[in-house]
Chains A and B, each alone.
Chain A
């Protein structure tokens, strides 16, 4: 099983600041089958990024994904008030599919 470790667990930032979230895999996720999701309280997760760096439809360009192999990053260039949420990385390279434990981006 591929274990995904997200860091930090919590990120305290102010609107307008840059957020950098990390996701490290215990083994390579192959051809970058790595996705990022945003989840707000009481809502289902929303796909932000797939294939490590491709923004999903309708996702603002302040969100970007990078990385390959075992190290991946989600960057939010300038935090908007609606961006404060929990973010999960997810590997869909091999079964069992797995999620990281999440990073909470909170208002400082």
Chain B
């Protein structure tokens, strides 16, 4: 059974940093691309970033380009999102997703990031 569990969310001041993690199990982690997708309170879904299975390619939404860095450690079955220079508009529930092709087929429950002074 595929399981994805995010962690690392919390409250941070504007301009601060946070590192999210996602622990994966139930599939051969390194064989699949992974995404981060976020959802602001009461709003729709916003794709954030994608990393290839071997980590060789990464893609970002324009809203986070240059501030967020996606990475993975296939030896630990883990996905990460380093978030720097956080803004109030980054407040959201952040989901880790497994990709099939580029489609997100499994989602974690999410971890909440709140950027507030």
Interface on chain B toward A: helix, strand, loop, or mixed SS? strand
Residues of B within 8 A of A88 (CB): 44-45
Contact check, B59 vs A35: say whether CB atoms are below 8 A apart. no
A16 in the interface, Cβ–Cβ < 8 Å? no
- Closest-CB distance, A85 to chain B (whole angstroms): 13
How many residues of A are in contact with the other chain, CB < 8 A? 23
Partner of A33, one of B47, B60, B62, B103: B103
Contact check, B107 vs A99: say whether CB atoms are below 8 A apart. no
A65 in the interface, Cβ–Cβ < 8 Å? no
- Closest-CB distance, A9 to chain B (whole angstroms): 11
Interface on chain A toward B: helix, strand, loop, or mixed SS? loop
Contact check, A99 vs B62: say whether CB atoms are below 8 A apart. no
- Asked whether A92 and B103 contact (CB < 8 A) given A44-B108, A44-B110, A97-B47, the answer is yes
Tell me the complex Cα distance, A102–B39, Å: 12
A44, A50, A90, A99 interface centre (most CB from chain B within 10 Å)? A44
B interface residues with partner A (beta carbon < 8 Å): 35, 44-47, 50, 59-62, 95, 100-110
23 A-B residue contacts at CB 8 Å?
A1-B62, A35-B104, A44-B95, A44-B109, A44-B110, A46-B107, A47-B106, A50-B100, A50-B105, A51-B103, A56-B105, A88-B44, A90-B47, A90-B103, A92-B101, A95-B59, A96-B59, A96-B60, A96-B61, A100-B44, A101-B44, A102-B44, A102-B45
